[in-house]
Chain A
Amino acid sequence: MARDSQAALVALNRFGFGARGGASGDLVNAASDPRGFVKAELARANGMLLEAPGLQSTPQLGQAVFAYQDEVRRAREAAKAAAPAETPSPAPTEPNAGLRRNPSLNATATAGQMAEAKPADNGTKPDAMQPNAAAPTAAKPAPLNVIQKTFRAEALARLQRATLAECGFTERLVAFWSNHFCISASKGELARIWAGAFEREAIRPHVLGRFADMLNSVEQHPAMLFFLDNQQSLGPDSRAGQNRKRGLNENLAREIMELHTLGVGGGYTQGDVTSLARIITGWTFAGRQGQLGSPGSFVFNANAHQPGPQVLLGKTYEATGRAQGEAALADLARHPSTANFIATKFVRHFVADDPPPALVARLRDVFVKTDGDLKALAMALVDSDEAWKAPLTKMRSPYDFLVASGRLLAQVPEDPSRYLNGLNLLGQPLWSPPGPNGFPDTNAAWAAPEGIKLRLDIAAQIGARLGNNVDPRDLLEFAAADAASIETRKTIERAESRQQALALLLMSPEMQRR
């Protein structure tokens, strides 16, 4: 039984988001057939897709941003016209100003408070009974704009899916690939409104499909083209380049090779970067005027495309327009360096910071033999002995930690604020990594002193808020059963209150390591 619980812990924590509390029976189910429990999710047709009422497509969202920007501009012009001529009008609301921040910060109190400021439902002077020390309802938050609303709705749909999933392996794969091919919502309004749609449209459909298809979807997605500036890149000899005296932007091309496929040191040169940049000129999205197509949708703009054949990694790609880039991506996806890079990163994420070389080699071979079949890759990981024998030493990322906590407490979020604020506080703001290389994936990043202390503060807050309603001893059974250490068990039993016990449980190695 002890061994089975240990295997169940691997199934739920290494591969998934941890056991759900309540009547889920996750740990028992996982213990009876650990590998089968993990694989069951992969067998579910379309289980990786996320569709929720109200979630819109990238072009629809792009058009919503354009309309919103027009509205802001009109309001600003109207204000200017109304202002006396001699005094400069007060700085109008820059459409970008409030949006660099996470909208949740605008919507609620500060991250540290994580409180839902909610007006009194009876509408009678909410302050009247507020002693001077507290004014949680004093500041009425500004109404959310369409970008903020969309971001929160996308975040909520993702959080709910992760909370409700049986094991969560599929959602963990989504998070892995989404971070591999990350964009950042902090790039601007379009990136923020598109962040969720990008994941739904470019990542999810291929998480159990082919790497080459995911690569192609990602590099043609308006969110990625915007994030890495490819919509500004013009072939120097293209008509648009000639007319506007502008040329290449190598940003996307470089990251495709360095971060998305070959990896740094994967055998490409600066010449190859420039060449790929030329190859994908013209990959852009239609703007608000819709001259090239439906506003906010991917288009190949032949006018901006560098004419002529290009040489990339020693191979010549003929001038076939959009197909030239697609052929180049297909070859990059198939490159041995890519197989090695992906296998290493995959094992590092799921197994250990120092990935076992034999396992990496096996997954690399699977990737090569199956032509980048990502389901086969995931299955090979689950089938390996290493993934079950390696101790659970990886630190849960802040996202994993918050989701695992919500699952254990059987709390299906109906508002993403607490999660978004928690992620901001812990240094993993949703869909907003610091750079195109995504969030780090090592213990050095997530087991840092400051981060652990902040996690404890958040755990204590969760304990104070929810400890009343639960028995942490039961929760430890749900989370780890007899795989829990004696020390953890005793620490929880000896806690001076349920609140404290819950905080300690959430911070226990059983909940922090995966």
Chain B
Amino acid sequence: MIDCVENRLLTSRRGLLLGGASFAAWAYLPKFARAADRHDPRLIVVILRGALDGLSTVGPIGDPDYAGLHGSIALTADGAHPAIMLDSFFALHPAMPEFARMYRDRHAAVIHAVATPYRDRSHFDGQDVLESGYAGPGRVQSGWLNRALEALPRGERVSSGLAVGPTTPLVLRGNAPTVGWAPVALPQADDDTAMRLVELYRHRDPTLASALSQGLQLDKVAAGEDMKAKRGNAVAQMRQVARGAAKLMAADDGPRIAALAFDGWDTHANEGGPVGRLAFLLGGLDGALAEFESSLGDRWRDTVVVVATEFGRTARINGTEGTDHGTGTIALLAGGAVKGGRVIADWPGLKLADLHEARDLKPTTDLRSVMKGVLQDQFGLSDRVLAETVFPDSASARPMKGLVT
């Protein structure tokens, strides 16, 4: 009990409040194996919390079953907001023109039908698996990125110390010291949290439901903005965090490895297709990727950004124009160091028999193989370290080759 309290106090002392995004980085410069060729690699891991609908972000519009399953929110090659064709089979959500440009320039890639080894559908447990790097939930002492850092020879300490830090995402928590930064918090709870609470109150506490609804309304009037603009705030915040993080990482003595998390991807209802809620969020993510590129400047050349989420969503839309918790989804790679311009997928198909438990996109690629491939190519970590320390018990998930130039 005492230990527990003290640990939390330490965390709280470093704590800074923030909205839906956070960033943390390694406190030291790694001494890279590849210093000889003047390659100075950078890695940014972006966690999308809430489970991204991979089928709505990169739609397999060449699959004959896609349109039927994803129904009103499916991407299409035509219409008012056509998706951007990545090849003859996959199309990118129209809210992501920056990623499309990087893809065309061969600096971005998609891995489809990917998942962690986790096969249940709890966000918390799924995020634990994604970030801890262990094969199952319940191991939350350290994250795989932190253990990867521990395996790197430690160079100089990043001297321009950051005084205050956000909560470190689990992926970067552990023994290797890290630093954090966050934009001054937008102090308001987000709409999604507020709506969930209104819903709970509506069932359990009508007085509070009415009070909170009025309070939210007042708030909106006071701010003089409608819901759309408020969502825009979340988007602006993603860009802001990305810009800040990239500026830190662009410095000569800045961190080379960082992780950040964006919330809000749990699109159970009114997910929207080419426009709507998911489109807003994807626009924010796209903007964040563009901020990384522009703010990293010359360093973008040596950078890999990995975007991953805890699991995917159902192949078939539910009764509320949204999708429920699923399994297979996508991971995105972006950056000057990415060997891009391709969608990497062992496509399982969307026929009922091909779906995982007859409902979810079946994962055919282990997300750990992607992460291991990036870590190996960028930082020269050995198969053994990757299979035993960074992603324990993952020998079967071999590092994916050739993701990085």
Binding site for B on A (CB under 8 A): 22-24, 112-122, 124-126, 128-131, 133-137, 409-412, 414, 443, 447-454, 456-457, 459-461, 463-469, 471-473, 485, 487-488, 491, 493-501, 503-504, 507-509, 512-513
Q: How far is the CB of B348 from chain A (nearest CB, A)?
A: 26
Beyond A23-B1, A120-B162, whether A500 also contacts B263 by CB under 8 A is: yes
List of 4 A-B pairs having minimum Cβ-Cβ separation, nearest first? A453-B215, A496-B266, A460-B189, A496-B50
Q: How far is B183's CA from A135's CA once the two chains are assembled, in angstroms?
A: 8
Beyond A449-B218, A453-B215, whether A113 also contacts B248 by CB under 8 A is: no
Q: How far is the CB of B231 from chain A (nearest CB, A)?
A: 15
B247 contacts chain A at the CB level, 8 A cutoff: yes
Q: How far is B122's CA from A134's CA once the two chains are assembled, in angstroms?
A: 34
Stretch at the interface among B93-101, B147-155, B195-203: B195-203
Q: How far is B123's CA from A393's CA once the two chains are assembled, in angstroms?
A: 32
Residues of B within 8 A of A460 (CB): 19, 188-190, 193
Indicate if the CB atoms of B248 and A129 lie closer than 8 Å.
Answer: yes
10 example contacts (A-B, Cβ-Cβ < 8 A) are as follows: A136-B163, A452-B212, A460-B193, A464-B22, A466-B12, A491-B200, A493-B122, A496-B266, A497-B49, A498-B127
Indicate if the CB atoms of B201 and A509 lie closer than 8 Å.
Answer: yes
Q: How far is B248's CA from A336's CA once the two chains are assembled, in angstroms?
A: 70
Residues of B within 8 A of A122 (CB): 159, 161
Q: How far is the CB of A468 from chain B (nearest CB, A)?
A: 5
Indicate if the CB atoms of B159 and A118 lie closer than 8 Å.
Answer: no
Residues of B within 8 A of A459 (CB): 189
Indicate if the CB atoms of B163 and A113 lie closer than 8 Å.
Answer: no
B181 contacts chain A at the CB level, 8 A cutoff: yes
Residues of A within 8 A of B318 (CB): none
Stretch at the interface among B68-76, B165-173, B332-340, B375-383: B165-173
Indicate if the CB atoms of A447 and B168 lie closer than 8 Å.
Answer: no
Beyond A115-B185, A466-B15, whether A452 also contacts B164 by CB under 8 A is: no
Indicate if the CB atoms of A456 and B218 lie closer than 8 Å.
Answer: no
Q: Write the B200-216 contact mask toward A (1 if CB under 8 angstroms, else 0).
A: 11011101100111111
Q: How far is the CB of A462 from chain B (nearest CB, A)?
A: 8
Indicate if the CB atoms of B12 and A411 lie closer than 8 Å.
Answer: yes
Q: How far is B266's CA from A493's CA once the two chains are assembled, in angstroms?
A: 13
Stretch at the interface among B2-10, B103-111, B389-397: B2-10
Chain B: CB-nearest residue to A446:
B211
Taking CB atoms and an 8 Å cut-off, the chain B residues in 288-341 that contact chain A are none
Indicate if the CB atoms of B17 and A495 lie closer than 8 Å.
Answer: no
Chain A: CB-nearest residue to B222:
A450
Cross-chain contact of B251 among A129, A451, A508 (Cβ < 8 A) = A129
B184 contacts chain A at the CB level, 8 A cutoff: yes
Residues of A within 8 A of B161 (CB): 120-122, 124, 126, 129
Q: How far is B195's CA from A495's CA once the two chains are assembled, in angstroms?
A: 11
Q: How far is B12's CA from A503's CA once the two chains are assembled, in angstroms?
A: 16
Indicate if the CB atoms of B163 and A118 lie closer than 8 Å.
Answer: yes
Indicate if the CB atoms of A457 and B188 lie closer than 8 Å.
Answer: yes
Residues of B within 8 A of A126 (CB): 161-163
Indicate if the CB atoms of A488 and B170 lie closer than 8 Å.
Answer: no
Q: How far is B15's CA from A410's CA once the two chains are assembled, in angstroms?
A: 15
Q: How far is B10's CA from A116's CA once the two chains are assembled, in angstroms?
A: 13
Residues of B within 8 A of A496 (CB): 49-51, 123, 192, 263-266
Cross-chain contact of B11 among A456, A466, A498, A501 (Cβ < 8 A) = A466
B240 contacts chain A at the CB level, 8 A cutoff: yes
Cross-chain contact of B1 among A24, A116, A501 (Cβ < 8 A) = A24
Q: How far is B189's CA from A497's CA once the two chains are assembled, in angstroms?
A: 14
Residues of A within 8 A of B135 (CB): none
Q: How far is B210's CA from A443's CA once the two chains are assembled, in angstroms?
A: 13
Interface centre among A121, A443, A449 (most CB of B within 10 A): A449
Chain A: CB-nearest residue to B203:
A487
Indicate if the CB atoms of B15 and A129 lie closer than 8 Å.
Answer: no
Residues of B within 8 A of A22 (CB): 1, 4-5
Indicate if the CB atoms of B167 and A116 lie closer than 8 Å.
Answer: no
Indicate if the CB atoms of B181 and A130 lie closer than 8 Å.
Answer: yes
Q: How far is the CB of B24 from chain A (nearest CB, A)?
A: 11
Cross-chain contact of A412 among B9, B169, B196 (Cβ < 8 A) = B9
Residues of B within 8 A of A24 (CB): 1
Beyond A411-B9, A466-B12, whether A452 also contacts B185 by CB under 8 A is: no
Q: How far is B185's CA from A457's CA once the two chains are assembled, in angstroms?
A: 11
Indicate if the CB atoms of A137 and B11 lie closer than 8 Å.
Answer: no
Chain B: CB-nearest residue to A467:
B167
Q: How far is B3's CA from A412's CA once the two chains are assembled, in angstroms?
A: 12
Indicate if the CB atoms of A131 and B212 lie closer than 8 Å.
Answer: no
Residues of A within 8 A of B197 (CB): 456, 491, 504, 507
Q: How far is the CB of B214 from chain A (nearest CB, A)?
A: 4
B18 contacts chain A at the CB level, 8 A cutoff: yes
Q: How far is B193's CA from A453's CA once the two chains are assembled, in angstroms?
A: 11
Interface centre among A112, A459, A469 (most CB of B within 10 A): A469
Residues of A within 8 A of B232 (CB): none
Indicate if the CB atoms of A456 and B185 lie closer than 8 Å.
Answer: no
Indicate if the CB atoms of A113 and B8 lie closer than 8 Å.
Answer: no
Q: Write the B118-156 contact mask toward A (1 if CB under 8 angstroms, else 0).
A: 000011100100000000000000000000000000000
Indicate if the CB atoms of B182 and A500 lie closer than 8 Å.
Answer: no
Residues of A within 8 A of B205 (CB): 509, 512-513
Q: How far is the CB of B17 from chain A (nearest CB, A)?
A: 4
Interface centre among B1, B184, B251 (most CB of A within 10 A): B184
Indicate if the CB atoms of B168 and A468 lie closer than 8 Å.
Answer: yes
Q: How far is the CB of B40 from chain A (nearest CB, A)?
A: 18
Indicate if the CB atoms of B188 and A485 lie closer than 8 Å.
Answer: no
Indicate if the CB atoms of A468 and B215 lie closer than 8 Å.
Answer: no
Q: How far is B195's CA from A504's CA once the two chains are assembled, in angstroms?
A: 10
Q: How far is the CB of A414 from chain B (nearest CB, A)?
A: 6
